[in-house]
Amino acid sequence: DQQVKQNSPSLSVQEGRISILNCDYTNSMFDYFLWYKKYPAEGPTFLISISSIKDKNEDGRFTVFLNKSAKHLSLHIVPSQPGDSAVYFCAASDSNYQLIWGAGTKLIIKP
């Protein structure tokens, strides 16, 4: 049973436009959420996180939105740049501080 789902395996966005990556979760006990980016042949790199007491967190071009009632979070990248092309993972933390990961979304930024 996948507790964290990223339903879009891939997403293609024009350079300069907004990229929106989505993530759904089923466990209402998750209280901390993170986004990681992964380039080929490298380990994931931390991007941004959000606590369940917030509904938005912003860091430069990256904003994460959390909708607890819908059990949904999204990552917005504005404006999208070629270097943003990567696989993006969302992860949720349970009461044991263990991270449960989504399957990832491959983001392709078209020039």
Partner 1 sequence: KAGVTQTPRYLIKTRGQQVTLSCSPISGHRSVSWYQQTPGQGLQFLFEYFSETQRNKGNFPGRFSGRQFSNSRSEMNVSTLELGDSALYLCASSWGRPNTEAFFGQGTRLTVV
Verify binding: residue 42, partner 1, rule CB under 8 A.
Answer: yes
Nearest distance, CB of residue 16 and partner 1, angstroms: 29
Verify binding: residue 44, partner 1, rule CB under 8 A.
Answer: yes
Verify binding: residue 28, partner 1, rule CB under 8 A.
Answer: no
**Given 49, 52, 57, 74, the residue binding partner 1 (CB under 8 A):** 49
Verify binding: residue 43, partner 1, rule CB under 8 A.
Answer: yes
Which of these segments, 39-47, 54-62, 65-73, 75-83, binds partner 1 (CB under 8 A)? 39-47
DSSP letter string, 27-69 = -TT--EEEEEEE-TTS--EEEEEEETT-SEEEETTEEEEEETT
Distance, in Å, from the CA atom of 19 to the CA atom of 13, rounded to the nearest integer, reads: 6
